[in-house]
Structure 1
Amino acid sequence: MSPRALKFLVLGLTVLIVGAIGPLLPSKWMTTLTYAQLFAVYAMGWDILSGMTGQISFGHIFFVAVAGYTTGLLNLYLHWPIWATIPVGAVMAVVAGLLFSVPALRLRGPYFSLVTLILPLAAARLVIILADWTGGELGKFGVAALCPLPDFKANQYCNYYSLWGLMTGVGLFLVWLSTSRFGKILEAIRENEEAVEAAGINTAKYKIFAFVVSACVVGLGGAFSVHTNEAVFFNSLLSLTSSIEMIVASVIGGMGTIVGALWGGFLVRGGEQVIREIAQLKLPIGAEGLALSFLERWATFIFFALLLVLLFFARQGLLPLLTGLVRRKRYASGS
């Protein structure tokens, strides 16, 4: 099986499993996986730029904010419907990505990363200065719901499968793009940009297009998040932690693989919740059992410690690790 077919197969199995388990989940876990799907979109969007080209962006949350605030404020103040606000939000993220990428991609290495880090910091100050309009750090409530259904359970299902559809569509598009000739050129740029330029290929054009696609994808996620939350939340749209977590998700899943970034998104958003669930259990030790509630306050620390261990032992990421194991097993059985 070709690497391209394998990626589509793994993506297909992943999204089918996520789609199938939705009705089987308790309410709390359905909410967790709803936001995990959203974060998987962010991680895949980051990966098509930074994972494929090696240009590491620390400020991709900026494009989430551009689309999110555009979407939310158009709905709040001009009462635009969802079918109009989400595309306009994504277009604004594309415009921001285009305006920023042209000068920024002249920089390389830490200089590019530093410039991307400044973007969300500057945007956060602007949001606070314009607090009368944006709500500042408190945010603005009253944004139209993504799924305006009267029943809570129906609303939850609608949110879950709306974001499942977004994640699936984004995943299919980015896997196709990353395995096309365009993706091969991005990988070549990552490995040796000078050699690619010497071959007569305009690397700037490819990097700008990758940046714009990346901004559009995370912007779509930001637009959906505003309507899912029914509010413009400062902490969800301009959190530097989320920017770093996009990188963590991609690295843990496998940079430049797209599907690995999707897996990493689920791991980053769902892993801590798993530890909190374990903290509710009791081990069958002693008459009353050994409570694990002490894990609750340590959940975040334990989760990130486990991520560090994973990075030490799977430096290329989960997807390359698993595909490598499968290949070795096939070669061993063939011989």
Structure 2
Amino acid sequence: MDVLSDAVAAMRAGRPHSSRTVRFAPWGIRFPASEGAGFHVVLQGSAWLLPAPGPDGAAPPPLRLAPGDVVLLPHGTEHGIADRPDTPLVDAVPAPDGSWPTLPDRGPVGAADTLLLCGSYQLHRARAHPLLTELPPYVHIPARIGAHPRLRAAIDLLGAELAEPQPGSDAILPALLDTLLVLLLRTWWLTERGERGERGERGTGWSAALADPAVATALKALHGDPAHPWTVAELGALGGLSRAAFARRFTALVGRAPLAYLTWWRMTTAGALLRTDDLPLRTVAQRSGYSSEFAFAKAFKRAYGTAPGRYRAAAGGAR
């Protein structure tokens, strides 16, 4: 798998949810902070995103969302969405499974002021991948004619399935939501990279890491086979760099030395396997690059503070 797919898969938990709702002015909804992520798409009309105040108590200015605009809240931060910035907000209370109840539509029969497509994802944030933690509080992807055709196609499919459910919709919707999340992230990173290039700026962090041929090649190799006994020299050679030059570049962009990142990713993968699969601990150890179950258990306890079996039981994973 590629790095972006791996990062999302390792954090995913439970079942994603979505809804297609009509709103009649005045309307306003407040979403509390959550462990997951969410998105809003304005299919018709307009809306205002109302970000919550930051740690300093200052709230970012409201953001107007036009028809076709998409906004992703990757960190589950509290926020509101309304027809006007000054409309009072009604609290939305999530269900135990992470879904949001559909608020009753208000207003006269007829064309809705606003038609929204909204969704939520449950995520494990204990070992969140930096690809996601580096994202801003919200990601706004404005509608542009002819831009982002794959993202627009996924939104259209999701909206159609929600508007007119057909046999198989229960299987299609989660797959479409997972696809939409990856497309949202990919679209934002590609857009950011392009805008930086136009300004003549060098990227930093993970956006730059994925754009750097040597580092991206190494990351793809690490994620493709985390159990392989990689060496820094071997990874550097994949990108045509010396051991020292590769180590410096990788550490500067990724934030961890190559083998430190490999160990972190192995343990992150192991945690995801323990939560979601019934594989024997011996198999999880082997897939994580450990030939000895004892060595794996020791490394896992150092990373998570508990033994693999206890972690699996506490997380509700398969036994």
Using structure 1 for the length normalisation, give the TM-score.
0.21
Using structure 2 for the length normalisation, give the TM-score.
0.22
Hey, which of these two has a bigger chunk of helix by percent?
A: 1
Q: Which has the higher contact order (CA 8 A, sep 6+)?
A: 1
Hey, which of these two has a bigger chunk of strand by percent?
A: 2
| Structure having the higher Rg | 2
